[in-house]
Structure 1
Amino acid sequence: MTESRRPPTGCAMFGIYSGMFRRRRSNSMTSLSRINGAPPGTAEPEPEAGASAVSAPAYPAHRKGGVHDDSSLVHRKDVLPLLAPKNSVQHVHPPASKTAVHTTKTVNGGTKTAAAAATAAEYTGMAEELDKMIHDHQRVKGTTQLVRATSGNMMLHRNLGNLNAGVPGASARNSLDRNPKATNERKAPNGYAFSGLGNIVKEAKAPPAELCRALSHRTDPEKLKEMGNEEYREGHYAEAVALYDQAIMVDPTRPAYWSNKAAALAALGRLIEAVGDCREAVRIDPSYSRAHHRLGGLYLRLGEADKAIHHLKQSANDSTGADVSRAQSIKSRVAKCGDARKVRNWVTVLQESQAAVSDGADCAPQVMALQAEALLKLQRHDEADAVLGGAPRFGVDESTKFFGTVAHAYVLMIRAQVDIAAGRFEDAVATAQTACQLDPSNREIANVHRRAKVVASARLRGNDLFKASRFSEACAAYGEGLDRDASNAVLLCNRAACHARLSRYEKAVEDCNGALAVRPAYSKARLRRADCNVKLERWEASLRDYQVLIQELPENEDVKKALSELEAKLKSQRNGGIASRS
């Protein structure tokens, strides 16, 4: 249909659209009857006579399945009132998968049934394939973008109906294909293009190559595995996991899919999940050497030396001998840590745990906890916090199942102590409580729990009193917490603030010294000590603190100003001393 310079009259448009509508609806209903198995003569209950309004059906945002009548595409509020007289109304209900199909026509106050409801079998063919492939690709790429039209169809190919989605190379089943130039020229100023039967759809770009590749290989597990390998090599581990999952869904009996997925999970730090997938690969094929080697390596990183040795010995990998030696070394070092801990030889515990990490147990919670505990006992709180901060965190349930209740309770106890030292008192209470629930008979864990509650309560009361300017009482409250944890840097620094407000600068400096002894990078304590030394006219000591602070806080304007003033004062004093001597 070629567009003329003068738009056609309303009568002409009505005749054109009515004829095309009847032909399309007849063909569509015949197709629907064939697909759904519904006999075309089944009657639908008649609506009330004289109905003159059309209620548009509610289209779901995303419909899985469903065969749409092409005539439903002209059901628009801004088109029907111009085309249909009051006594001739078209009722078109787009059918959905596993639902009834209804098409009713009302003419001159009478009602005639064109087709009736029938339970539709789940659709098959291109529509089903497209729906599943698009859903799979969305899951892989993490997007929900679809090219869809007013009828709810997901238009990936133009030959699924009469909509022109603007995809190059496709052909729409409408009369405008006879003159594609005219179709391309008929564009609305808002960026939308006209297509068959007067429908307007937004122009869409051609689907990306990645989508086409994903669609074409959806049902081929080997192709999915190759795509996952490519994503893995490029460092896209989450995408690789999703593709391996798709391959496993198609064929769960191939151990390589499980093993490759385990490698991607390990790269994401999900080591316990990776162990589960590797174990499944070994279960499917007990002679799968590569899976045994990968599983042994995972157990090695998690500190499970005996299990690592068992699986590494079943691997034919060239590096198996060296890996077995590393696993045996880790086992020996962990045992030495346990013996040294019993006699409170924290230097040995620290050395052996660090060596175990160097041997490969870099994600072993128990080894990391031993190292952090030794650092705490050696008054190196910042380092202990850094060790546990860089360790992977696993869920309580999976850790308990994988490492055992007692082992995980110990890890939680050490984490609670590190939280206390860092001033995260509420976290410490919660973590210690979980450890108590896992190992209620452990007295050491119970003591840590009580200490966490006392210290948290003391800090809270001290803060409230400080805000109320009751500095002496606040000082006493912080002292109660220090009675249970004498080297707590946060409580020492807070008490130093109370001493400074009471002009007890010497005591404030002492508390700051204690805080900085266990946490040298505690900038708040260093700043408070520098200020107190200024009040005591200890210019050199104050200058040293400000010089450290300017390195730690280079953008802090207060530190810059204080340092500048202090340097000017010291320069003035030196110049005055030289003048007096001369």
Structure 2
Amino acid sequence: MTESRDPPTGCAMFGIYSGMFRRRRSASMTSLHRINATEAEAAAPAAQANPAHRKAAAVPHDSSLRPARSGRRTAPGPAPRRRPRTRGAADPVPAKAANGVGGARTAADPASEYTGMAAELDKMILDHQRVKGTTQLVRATSGNMMLHRNLGNLNAGAGGASARSSLERGVKQANERKAPNGYAFSGMGNIVKESNKPAAGGDLCRALSHRTDPEKLKEMGNEEYRQGHYAEAVALYDQAIMMDARRPAYWSNKAAALAALGRLIEAVADCKEAVRIDPSYERAHHRLGGLYLRLGEPDKAIYHFKQSSKESTVADVSRAQSVKSRIAKSSDARRLKDWITVLQEAQAAVSDGADCAPQVMALQAEALLRLQRHDEADAVLAGAGAPRFGVDESTKFFGTFGHAYVLIVRAQVDMAAGRFEDAVATAQTAFQLDPSNREVTIVQRRAKAAAAARLRGNDLFKAGKFAEACAAYGEGLDREPGNAVLLCNRAACHAKLGRHEKAVEDCSAALAARPSYSKARLRRADCNVKLERWEASLRDYQVLIQELPENEDVKKALSEVETKLKSQRNGGAPARPQH
């Protein structure tokens, strides 16, 4: 067999195992192939006469692994034509290839079974696909691993020189062909950091050599974790766990990497597994206590901190007890509708360590909504540091009632921010989780009514029916008082009807709830221009030019207002009195 003219890719590292792979039959067969072919032809009549021979002939043999018999020579001739055969009840059923592509091995085929290096490679391919979800490696024949569109079986050559050169070329091309996540493609399940250093091939070989040592994989995961590569660390810990799931350190280290990625609920599950394996593993207890504290479960945090006396300190237990007290006070104040106390206690709980607790965040956001600080409420639940968990995992972890409360607060925040469709969907999910909860039912009805009123008002406004649209927005405000979007839309209707005073009032109310609402500020500035209130208009335009520095309309309006105000101060026509 000759090498392909195309330079091999990353799978060239498998060239060192090429002596274990099958060689395909070709027109220019070697003398060994010809001898075996002649033997097969000579054995065919006997096999037909003897059922035992027929059964043995049904098993394909690998000519590359069978030694040639000395002393027998046959004249070269064309390759024997294989006769089609139908599979009977006694025939072996072909086993599915390891990666689901191709494959001619059979479950009862002794010639196709193999162990050692080749079996280890098969396991590596399966592990890689299970962890990474890639299908780059496929099986072309029963023993030949290859990449899509590339030749996979490389001739090692004499002395192994060809295998070494193939490996070097494969590593070079793997580093040149970068994956979207910035890592060189290796075609294997191990994590290999892309590097411009010549040691990239060494990293590949190091990962391959450590494939059978879970402790080495753990050490590599620790190294990735220290460098801040948490996703890569998780993958390496997963590999170690697949090889030896009885080591609690693997589960605990993986939990630390998951927590760094913000996947706290998954981290809790892995820490719990580490503690199940070894109930005396104090580091896992301490890590589990910290996770529970961050998620707003102080009782569980205190329990696990006490189980890790060597790892935990008095300060850890004290923080957990403080979070427990803060949450209780915030909940009590909520029942009394003391929103300032709710906000203060919830913020203190976050400062004490419950920084990823959805219920604590919901208490804080609800208090800000009731205090007409809608922008801040939105930032609490939708900011960069806000916890984001799926509905199923949150319901399972926090319980139905707890997660339903978080959802109804989120629905109200969405309404305040003008995301009416999202609000309706979120409220509906909360109602499905807890349909008997009166508070959930009220929020769901409010969200539906406000969304319908806004949609009806928009349709009427587009049709030029400004009075009807104004009434529709008013109905929405009856269900959702202080909603900045509905107020601003109603202000637009007032402006179209020439009621600029009322438009200014609605815009001011919208800005009181959402100071960053640029549309309401622009509308108020324009109405003040109509009322010739130059100074009030100038203040709004000065704020807008900072928020929208590239807006040409704002620049032009600001210039005109400045000119009018200068003319007034220089003895021009007196402005109308401001109220």
- State the partner residue of 1:130: 121
CA contact (8 A) 2:525 2:541 kept: yes
Superposed CA deviations along residues 534-562 of structure 1, whole A, max 9, x for unmatched, are: 12111111111111111112222322232
Residue in 2 that maps onto 1:563: 558
With 316-325 and 370-379 compared, the bigger mean Cα shift is at 316-325
* Structure 2 residue corresponding to 1:526, chosen from 521, 526, 542: 521
CA distance in 1, matches of 2:553, 2:53: 85
Q: Which of 517, 537, 544 lines up with 2:539 in the alignment?
A: 544
User: How many Å separate the matches in 2 of 1:217 and 1:394?
Assistant: 35
Contact 2:456/2:469, CA 8 A, preserved across alignment? yes
Cα distance in 1 for partners of 2:83, 2:568 equals: 95
Spell out, residue by residue over 1:385-424, the C-alpha distance to the aligned partner (whole angstroms, 9 max, x if none).
Answer: 1111132121222212211111111111111111111111
The whole-number CA distance in structure 2 between the counterparts of 1:164 and 1:207 is 22
Q: Which string of whole-angstrom CA distances, capped at 9 and with x for unpartnered residues, describes residues 335-372 of structure 1?
A: 11111111111111110000000000001111111111
In structure 1, give the amino acid aligned to 2:31.
Answer: R
Count of aligned pairs between the two proteins:
477
Q: Which residue type is aligned with residue 367 of structure 2?
A: A
Q: CA deviation at 1:317?
A: 3.7
Flag the 1:126–1:432 CA change in 2: closer, same or farther, 3 A. Answer: same
| 1:432-443 alignment, distance < 5 Å | 432-443=427-438
With over 3 angstroms needed to count, the CA separation of the structure-2 counterparts of 1:283 and 1:67, relative to structure 1, is farther
Q: Name which of 506, 509, 514 aligns with 1:514.
A: 509
Of 306, 318, 339, the match for 2:332: 339
Give the Cα–Cα distance (whole angstroms) in 1 for the partners of residues 238 and 526 of structure 2: 60
Superposition TM-score, scaled by structure 1 size: 0.73
Q: Give the match for residue 5 of structure 1.
A: none
Task: Choose the corresponding residue for 1:372, options 362, 365, 372.
Answer: 365
The separation in 2 between residues aligned to 1:255 and 1:436, in whole angstroms, is 40
Q: 2:31 aligns with which of 16, 19, 23?
A: 23
Tell me, in whole angstroms, the C-alpha distance in 1 between the residues paired with 2:63 and 2:521: 76
Post-superposition CA distance 1:183-231 (Å, at most 9, x none): x9xxxxxxxxxxxxxxxxxxxx997443322221112110111111111
* Alignment RMSD (CA, Å): 4.1
Tell me what 1:239 maps to: 232
**CA shift for structure 1 position 150:** 11
CA distance change for structure 1 residues 152 and 534 in 2, over 3 Å: closer, same or farther?
farther
Query: Residues of 2 paired with 1:230 and 1:319: CA distance?
Result: 25
The SS at the match of 2:378 is: helix
Unmatched 5+ stretches in structure 1: 3-16, 33-37, 45-65, 71-84, 101-115, 185-204
Deviation at 1:26, TM superposition (A): 5.1
**1:88/1:408 CA distance change after superposition, 3 Å:** closer
What TM-score, normalized by structure 2, do the two folds share? 0.73
Whichever residue aligns with residue 409 of structure 1, its letter is A
Q: Which residue of structure 1 lines up, in the alignment, with residue 15 of structure 2?
A: none
CA pair 19-304 structure 1, distance change in 2 beyond 3 A: closer
Separation in 2, partners of 1:480, 1:345: 28
Alignment partner, residue 454 of structure 1: 449
Q: CA deviation at 1:480?
A: 0.8
Contact kept, 8 Å, 2:282 with 2:307, in 1: the verdict is yes
Residue 154 in structure 1 maps to residue 145 in structure 2: yes
Q: 1:471 to 1:292 in 2, by over 3 A?
A: same
Equivalent residue number for residue 487 of structure 2: 492
Residues 128-207 of structure 1 mapped to structure 2, 5 A cutoff: 128-134=119-125, 136=127, 153-154=144-145, 161=153, 163=155, 170-171=161-162
- Sequence identity of aligned pairs in percent? 76
- Partner letter of residue 378 of structure 2? D
Instruction: Specify the alignment match of 1:197 in structure 2.
Output: none
**Which consecutive unaligned segments of at least 5 residues does structure 2 have?**
3-24, 41-51, 65-76, 85-91, 96-104, 170-197, 574-579
Match of 2:406 in 1: 411
Distance in 2 separating the partners of 1:336 and 1:124 = 65
- Alpha-carbon shift at residue 293 of structure 1 (Å): 0.3
Counterparts of 2:36 and 2:528 in 1: how far apart (Å)? 90
Matched, 1:421 2:416: yes
Question: Which amino acid letter does the alignment assign opposite residue 537 of structure 1?
Answer: E
- Tell me how far 1:172 sits from its aligned partner: 6.0
